[in-house]
Amino acid sequence: MERDIEGSAVIFFAYIGFDAVSTTAQEAKNPQRDMPIGILGSLTISTILYILVAAVLTGVVSYTFLNVSDPIAVGVDAMGSGLFWLRPIIKIAAIAGLSSVILVMMLGQPRIFYSMSKDGLLPPMFSKVHPRFKTPYISQIITGIVALVLAGILPINILGELVSIGTLLAFVIVCVGVIVLRKQKPNLVRPFNTPLVPLVPILGAGICLLQMYSLPLDTWLRLIIWMALGFFIYFFYSVRHSKLRSKK
């Protein structure tokens, strides 16, 4: 059971693309309707596909042989020489799938920097929009360079654990935030209402915390260092430039 929870926490980065959909709300025609449909719909479809792929792989090869960086390739190679023509197609599709996840996150992060910059939490250059493409191009360039450097110097397992624990922490904060907002601002206009509050947020935060607890100690240390960097930026720059704080 403990190993199962640890495994689910390590591969949690596979689900981080769904919350990135919300970062493009400003580019949607009807975000109040489209965002919940996009997030919940894509989450449902992808979860079903994940289960089907896992079922096929474990049906072809024993799960003991799939603890590798390329389980799809291992499963395809085990199908026999009769399907040799299918191997390159499936492997290329697997690479394309991984690339799509990377591109989604590369799309979402610059929008987060853009919104933070518009609120004064980051320098104005992060909210500069390209005159032709109307996208936050400076944020995109910075995000790409940082991602390129980290991907080049850190092992994939460390990156996966770091991304997963950061995402789990963000989900915990969101779940707790739902409860706090329902209590402090019960009459706030909500185009989409989280059902069964506070049960759903409590379960969400609790499960995420349980998964975080199962991750290795060194992953927690990296998270603490990363958060310390964030606090440093916030208290030495963001607090003094926050537009929301200046309105109070």
In angstroms, the Cα distances linking 121 to 22, 175, 223, 238, 245 are 19, 22, 21, 4, 10
Tens-digit pLDDT string for the chain (248 aa): 556 666 666 666 666 667 767 777 777 778 888 888 888 888 888 889 888 988 888 888 888 888 776 787 788 777 776 667 777 787 787 777 777 767 777 777 888 898 889 888 999 999 899 888 888 889 989 988 988 888 888 887 787 788 888 888 988 999 999 999 999 988 888 877 888 888 999 999 998 898 888 888 888 998 999 899 989 999 988 888 888 776 65
Specify the pLDDT at position 2. 56
- The set of residues, in sequence order, having a beta carbon less than 8 Å from that of 136 and lying 6+ positions away, is 110, 111, 113, 114, 126, 127, 128, 129, 130
Specify the pLDDT at position 206. 93
Specify the pLDDT at position 199. 93
| Rounded-to-integer distance, Cα 146 and Cα 26, Å | 25
* pTM, two decimal places: 0.74
Give 4-55 as a 3 state SS string: HHHHHHHHHHHHHHHHHHHHHHHHCCCHHHHHHHHHHHHHHHHHHHHHHHHH
CB-CB neighbours of 27 under 10 Å: 11
CA pseudo-torsion sign 89, 90, 93, 99: negative
